[in-house]
Amino acid sequence: MTSIAQLPYSNAIHALTVENLSVGYRSGESAISDISFQLGVGERVALIGPNGAGKSTLFKALVGMIPHQTGYVSIHGEDCRTSHKLFGYVPQQETIDWSFPATVEDVVMMGRVKKIGWFKMPSKHDRQIVHMALDQVGMREFAKRQIGQLSGGQKRRVFIARALAQETDVLLLDEPFNGVDVGAEAEILATLDALQANGITMLIATHDLALASTRFDRVLVVNCHLIADGAPQDVFVPDILRRAYGNRVGIFEHNGQSTMVLEEPIA
């Protein structure tokens, strides 16, 4: 059984490289420490760990929302100081007034603001990019629909389109399956399958261990630092999960098979 921090994988082309990334609080305490990993082009990688493990902090540091104390980040070899804009980031909680009369197209166009500039009108090219992004997530027919009229799964797909409208091929999705029903989850997974088929690289934080173990190429396990990085069958073993979750994961043995149940409530 392999229990080292990084399990072996092979992918020569790296869409995202993170080296020795550390983020601290004002008190001096580390939120995440010395995290290193690489994502290959087109990989779909799950990021798992208990509440407070630093998953959202990691995402915010990658996109430049909070500064990192140490470390290096690059997308396709471009240094983090200039490549933050190359991430497409979908946070866990969207601060949207669902009653506001914004259409789906309007919301996705928000992803173009940095390229258009403040107080400037979108060009024909910008609208083409928005429509292409909506096509990628299967939401083009809803372009003129008011955003509040959509289902939960449709809203998540619109926010993924907003990230894609930045003309990125590296997406960071923070808990996209949280709070959606089975049908919406299936919609989101189908969208992710289509994006991966088009070479989009994705790092996705999730509390759903069943999904992480079956629908992802690799799994990163974090709890303030990187505990494991490898294929699902190598990561989902009792030793690694106990190191990440402690007594919050129940592991049951029956006929030589292990069943693991996460016992912590989802925040």
Reported as a single tens digit per residue, the pLDDT across 217-257 is: 999 999 999 999 999 999 998 889 989 988 777 666 666 66
* Spatial distance between the Cα atoms of 70 and 55, rounded to a whole number of angstroms: 17
What are φ and ψ of residue 12, in 5° steps?
-75, -25
* Spatial distance between the Cα atoms of 100 and 26, rounded to a whole number of angstroms: 37
Residue 58 lies in a domain: yes
Q: What is the overall mean pLDDT for the chain?
A: 86
Among 31-45, 70-84, 123-137, the minimum mean pLDDT is found in 70-84
- Based on its alpha-carbon atoms, the radius of gyration of the chain, rounded to whole angstroms, reads 19
Residue 174 lies in a domain: yes
pLDDT computed for residue 77 by the predictor: 85
Strand, helix or coil for residue 123:
coil
What percent of the chain is predicted at pLDDT more than 70? 83
Q: What CATH number has the domain bearing residue 237?
A: 3.40.50.300
- Is the model's pLDDT at 15 over the cut of 90? yes
pLDDT computed for residue 10 by the predictor: 40
pLDDT computed for residue 256 by the predictor: 63
Residue 236 lies in a domain: yes
Closest among 262, 266, 249, 40 to 175, alpha carbons compared: 266
* Global pTM value: 0.86
For residues 217 and 84, the model is more confident at 217
What percent of the chain is predicted at pLDDT more than 90? 60
Closest among 85, 78, 104 to 168, alpha carbons compared: 85
For residues 110 and 81, the model is more confident at 110
Q: Which residues pair with 47 in a beta bridge?
A: 205, 220
Residue 205 lies in a domain: yes
Range of the domain at 231: 14-96+169-262
Residue 218 lies in a domain: yes
* Spatial distance between the Cα atoms of 99 and 76, rounded to a whole number of angstroms: 39
- The count of structural domains within the chain is 1
**Number of CB atoms found within 10 A of residue 1's CB:** 7
